[in-house]
Amino acid sequence: AGDVLVVAAPEQSSLTTGGPGRAYVFESDGVGWKQTAVLHPHDFGGSGEPAYGVSVATDGNTIAIGSPADTQGVQVKGAVYV
């Protein structure tokens, strides 16, 4: 009902840019916004940039994060993290 905001940061890592990407979740308390979570791809192997966070969507309590350059083996197949 408009009280959750997801901000995508493709290529963001914990220290700098050039990483796999992150998504930051904020929740409103009616007065302001507070960061409540930092989401990142759990299976990132450290090579390449999967573009995690290029797209985000929410529906109720569900957050979907697109990663179009995610790889499976040597093939780029893309992924959606829910």
Angle at 10 between CA 15 and CA 81, to 5 degrees: 110
Angle at 58 between CA 56 and CA 61, to 5 degrees: 135
Q: What is the pLDDT of residue 50?
A: 64
Q: What is the pLDDT of residue 48?
A: 55
**And the tokens for 8?**
């995508």
Question: How does the average pLDDT of the chain come out, rounded?
Answer: 78
Identify the residue with better confidence: 46 or 74: 74
Q: What is the pLDDT of residue 78?
A: 77
Q: What is the per-residue burial (b if ≥16 Cβ within 10 Å, else e) of 62-76?
A: ebebbbebbbeeeee
